[in-house]
Amino acid sequence: MPLVEISMIEGELSSEQKVKMANDICDLLMNAVPRLPKEAISVIFYENPGENWVVGGVTVKELVEKGKRKE
13-51 per-position pLDDT tens digit: 999 999 999 999 999 999 999 999 999 999 999 999 999
pLDDT at 66 over 90: no
Fold of 3-70: Macrophage Migration Inhibitory Factor (3.30.429)
Q: Which residues contact 23 (CB under 8 A, 6 or more apart)?
A: none
DSSP state of 33: S
> What pLDDT is recorded for position 26?
98
Per-residue pLDDT of 55-65, as tens digits, reads 999 999 999 88
Banded model confidence at residue 70, pLDDT cuts 50, 70, 90: low
**What are the boundaries of each domain within the chain?**
3-70
Residues 6+ apart with CB under 8 A from 51: 59, 60, 61
